[in-house]
Amino acid sequence: MALHPLSRLSAVQSSVGARVIVVSNRLPLTLRKTEDGWSTERSSGGLASAMNPLLRKGGGDWIGWPGGGGEDDVQGRMAILAQWAEDERCFAVDLPEKVATGFYEGYANQTLWPVFHNFPSQLKFDAKSWEAYIEANRIFCEAVVNRYGPNDLIWVHDYHLMLLPQMLRDRLPDAAIGFFLHIPFPSSEIFPVLPRREELLEGLLGADLLAFQTHGHLQQFRAALLRVLGMESKIQQVAVGSRPVRLEALPIGIAPEEYTDLLKSDKTTADQYAEWVARYSGRKVVLAVDRLDYTKGVIERLRAYAHLLRSSPELKEKVVLIQIAVPSREGIDTYQELRTEVNRLVGEMNGKLGTPEWTPLVYINRSIERTELVGLYKLADVCWVGSLRDGMNLVAKEYVACKPEGDGVLVLSEFAGAAAEMGEALLINPFDEERTAATIERALALDDQERRQRMQTLHHRVLRNNVFRWGERFLGALQEAVSERGRYIDTQPQRLRPTEIRDAYARAKRRVLILDYDGTLVPFAKRPQQAAPPTRILDLLNALASEPQNCVALMSGRSAENLDRWFGMIRGMWIVAEHGAEFKSPSAPAWEYLRPQVPTEWKSTVMPILEHFVDRIPGSFVEEKKYGLVWHYRMADPEFGEWLANELVSMLEAMLAETELRAFRGEKIVEVKPVWANKGEVLERLLASRSDPDFLFAAGDDRTDEDLFERLQSGAWTVHIGPGPTRASYVVANFEALRRVLELFAESGNLSKTS
Ligand code: ADQ
């Protein structure tokens, strides 16, 4: 016997063991005004379908907008809302009408929705609707804070509430906050189009966990972080100061029993199904079920269907397309225009292609009951999901759940998130009318064995990757993210205490000191040539290198020629150039190379790109090194420079993805170099020359030093100069503070000589 969804729900809750507060724009219940006053209706739509069974009796709270406002029967309305809170633990957030309109019909659905679905041409923006969006998020924040108790898990849903995670973080700094984006995240070409994009990203980063429908969307989010905020991230994590934010791809599923139970034993479903079988006997049924939204590709589908009927006359009277379209966002002009256009097309097609015995297209423009929907899923020979862009698309999964025997074909747009995990469907590009029509024809003619094989594989996957599993994975990841937060803080660098390190230095017998140059021993100069070492630094390095217990290495991104000129005279010191690509040890007279042969032909491709950036911002210039190319923008306008640097890195990252070259950002530079030319690689050579050191010290201020810190074992004294995230164990405020530490080393060396 199939398990009821609610019993699964308690399993989710008990395995998670904490109370969950779900926050979404809409509650799963909606207020409706009838002649007798207010009544309650259960919402349809992806989010409600997915979350309802997960939370209905699990003891969690759901916070959202209840629909229906105004001055009518205020008392009756309040009474119903009180009942919802009592019986269903659904807590209504009331938004003033003006705020609700600007927020929902304005910024959320006319600005965010089109941009996130790759329709920037549909974007409409005004500052007032943005203010309303902020205000609505603030009101939601207040409602969550009022319900929050220690150890609750807060789960924020979707694009309406992208500012909420940070607002909550400000009010509840220790709370566990997760965010799930149901819609796609756009590419980094499109995302920057969005007005107020920085605030939105910063709003999201208040969460402990950010989850997306697919890996593709997650990667696009990371690319936007880099491009818009200049923030680097790892596949699964981004650091916001000292707080980690976990990143996940968690495709949503459905509650299969909600469909299969009706299929097995519901009388209305069975009666409807029998009636339709009789009505459509001798004809193949193709089904499409959508909210009436321009992203769902309804018009494209109708055109492709017309194309099919014209190009394959043998299908005449042999096929019917049933298009269900639920009215949606009717307060927005674009949606009304869409509705008019669909109505026109339906009339035109049936008028031109139909016969007295045959209506090729059955169009239903209303919401239908699930009992009916399941009957249609069972009936349909083909289900046609043609989204131009979709976060997931639950219809694809619902249809597959209703095909336990495998007697149906799913035709699925490759631009729906569902395509990432439903490869056995016949995939289409819905923008290609002709090929889409050909795929529908193929679906109608697919042989029995292939059809069953494809559908049964899909069916098992949809049953397994259901909404309960999704919920469990999300809440599990959220709890892990919160505990990672603790571990992360434990591993944050401490301030370096000069006396403590001086004592450790004095006690040691075999020391290794690795020092970066620019930003570490000296401040940054406007041009690289201007940063020549002052006598004080040369004396200090001389003193440290002349200690017999010391092995000192200067590691820099500068060229060998430059370093030789400035430091060649210091005896007993290793010099490492171009981040480790070349080095000179005290025992060898000449420079050695980490790799014997290094291709440099890539420079002629990358150079014009960097030069183009030089043209775009006065004061920037390109430095050519043996192994790398560097774009410097220290003397350029700082804000524009940062912005262009983000753009340049995003562009180069995509271009260099398949090569051994990487583009990375340093202090006011973007450098392109081979990935192996890094300070971590050369470390092995250095340590081989001084086996078993009892004092290992490395200091640096930028990204290239992080490679080194990562390679050094935990007992090493790794020191980062200045603010910013680092893998080092210690930090000092600036190059002067580091210099004082090195002076302490030199003094303690002198003391041991005189004592
Ligand atoms: P939606 O854009 O609403 O959801 P979708 O995933 O297709 O899109 O879900 C629609 C839901 O509404 C399905 O459960 C379907 O059965 C139901 N439905 C559709 N037409 C109906 C009708 N005429 N009558 C009754 N019910 C109908 C958003 C994202 C999606 C994402 C979901 C869930 O846009 O990409 O899959 O959230 O994360």
Query: Which residue type sits at 408?
Result: G
Residue 43 has pLDDT above 80, yes or no: no
b/e burial code for range 463-480 (CB count within 10 A of at least 16 → b): bebbbbebbbbbbebbbe
Residue 322 parent element (H or E): strand 319-326
Residue 256 CA neighbour count, 13 Å, CB half: 19
pTM: 0.78
Classified as helix, coil or strand, 159 is: helix
Q: Is 467 in the pocket of ligand 1 (CB under 6 A)?
A: no
* Ligand 1 centroid from CA 600, angstroms: 53
Identify the CATH class of 494-595+676-754: alpha beta
The protein residue with its alpha carbon nearest to ligand 1, atom 33, reads 46
Nearest atom (ligand 1) to Cα of 366: 23
Q: Is 652 in the pocket of ligand 1 (CB under 6 A)?
A: no
- Spatial distance between the Cα atoms of 398 and 526, rounded to a whole number of angstroms: 62
Torsions phi, psi for 664 (to 5 deg): -140, 160
Q: Is 391 in the pocket of ligand 1 (CB under 6 A)?
A: yes
Work out the pLDDT band at 167, boundaries 50, 70, 90: very high
**pLDDT per position as a tens digit, 281-321:** 999 999 999 999 999 999 999 999 999 999 999 999 999 99
Residue 124 parent element (H or E): none
Nearest atom (ligand 1) to Cα of 328: 3
Which of 158, 516, 518, 702 is flagged as catalytic? Answer: 516
Best mutation site among 112, 159, 262, 289 for ligand 1 pocket (most ligand atoms within 8 Å of CB): 289
Mean pLDDT calculated for residue range 311-339: 94
- CA angle 626/632/637 to nearest 5° reads 170
Q: Is 401 in the pocket of ligand 1 (CB under 6 A)?
A: no
Q: In Å, what is the CA distance from 481 to each residue of 478, 484, 492? A: 5, 5, 16
Work out the pLDDT band at 10, boundaries 50, 70, 90: very low
Among candidates 696, 722, 691, 723, which has minimal Cα distance to 709?
Answer: 696
Nearest atom (ligand 1) to Cα of 416: 35
Residue 735 has pLDDT above 50, yes or no: yes
**Who has greater pLDDT, 587 or 487?**
587
Maximum distance among all Cα pairs of the chain, rounded to whole angstroms: 113
Please report the DSSP string for 507-549 in residue order.
H-SSEEEEE--BTTTBPPPSSGGG-PPPHHHHHHHHHHHH-TT
Q: Do 494-595+676-754 and 5-249 have the same topology in CATH?
A: yes
Residue 45 C-alpha from the chain's centroid: 23
Mean pLDDT calculated for residue range 18-40: 87
User: What ranges in 184-280 are assigned the alpha helix state H?
Assistant: 197-204, 215-224, 257-265, 267-279
Work out the pLDDT band at 4, boundaries 50, 70, 90: very low
Residue 82 has pLDDT above 80, yes or no: yes
Q: Which CATH superfamily is domain 257-464 in?
A: Glycogen Phosphorylase B; (3.40.50.2000)
Residue 59 C-alpha from the chain's centroid: 30
> What does DSSP assign to residue 186?
P
Classified as helix, coil or strand, 560 is: helix
Q: How many CB atoms lie within 10 A of CB 554?
A: 24
The two beta strands, 573-577 and 582-584, are antiparallel
* Ligand 1 centroid from CA 296, angstroms: 10
Whether 152 is catalytic? no
- Spatial distance between the Cα atoms of 60 and 82, rounded to a whole number of angstroms: 16
* Ligand 1 centroid from CA 334, angstroms: 19
Among candidates 619, 600, 608, which has minimal Cα distance to 651?
Answer: 608
- Spatial distance between the Cα atoms of 542 and 550, rounded to a whole number of angstroms: 11
- Whether residue 86 contacts residue 75, with contact meaning beta carbons closer than 8 Å, is answered with no
Nearest atom (ligand 1) to Cα of 180: 38
* Ligand 1 centroid from CA 245, angstroms: 29
Q: What is the pLDDT of residue 233?
A: 86
Q: Is 373 in the pocket of ligand 1 (CB under 6 A)?
A: yes
Nearest atom (ligand 1) to Cα of 50: 33
Best mutation site among 25, 54, 254, 291 for ligand 1 pocket (most ligand atoms within 8 Å of CB): 291
Q: What is the pLDDT of residue 691?
A: 77
Whole-number percent of the chain with pLDDT over 70:
94
Residue with tokens 């340049």: 648
Work out the pLDDT band at 346, boundaries 50, 70, 90: very high
Residue spans per domain, the chain: 5-249, 257-464, 494-595+676-754, 605-670
Q: Which two tokens stand for residue 445?
A: 């003619």
* Ligand 1 centroid from CA 45, angstroms: 4
- Spatial distance between the Cα atoms of 573 and 541, rounded to a whole number of angstroms: 8
CATH of 5-249, one of 3.10.20.30, 3.30.420.40, 3.40.190.10, 3.40.50.2000: 3.40.50.2000
- Spatial distance between the Cα atoms of 218 and 193, rounded to a whole number of angstroms: 18
Residue with tokens 């490492």: 576
The protein residue with its alpha carbon nearest to ligand 1, atom 12, reads 45
> What does DSSP assign to residue 158?
S
Q: Is 390 in the pocket of ligand 1 (CB under 6 A)?
A: yes
> What does DSSP assign to residue 232?
-
Q: Is 672 in the pocket of ligand 1 (CB under 6 A)?
A: no
Nearest atom (ligand 1) to Cα of 324: 23
Mean pLDDT calculated for residue range 704-715: 84
Q: Which two tokens stand for residue 283?
A: 């004809």
Among candidates 324, 401, 413, which has minimal Cα distance to 363?
Answer: 324
Best mutation site among 301, 394, 397, 467 for ligand 1 pocket (most ligand atoms within 8 Å of CB): 394
Contacts of 76 (CB under 8 A, 6+ apart): 37, 38
Q: What is the pLDDT of residue 6?
A: 29
**pLDDT per position as a tens digit, 256-271:** 998 999 999 999 999 9
Residue with tokens 């290793």: 574
Q: Is 398 in the pocket of ligand 1 (CB under 6 A)?
A: yes
Work out the pLDDT band at 101, boundaries 50, 70, 90: very high
Residue 52 has pLDDT above 70, yes or no: no
- Spatial distance between the Cα atoms of 561 and 572, rounded to a whole number of angstroms: 18
* Ligand 1 centroid from CA 36, angstroms: 30
Contacts of 672 (CB under 8 A, 6+ apart): 606, 610, 628, 629, 630, 652, 656, 661, 662, 663
- Spatial distance between the Cα atoms of 349 and 277, rounded to a whole number of angstroms: 24
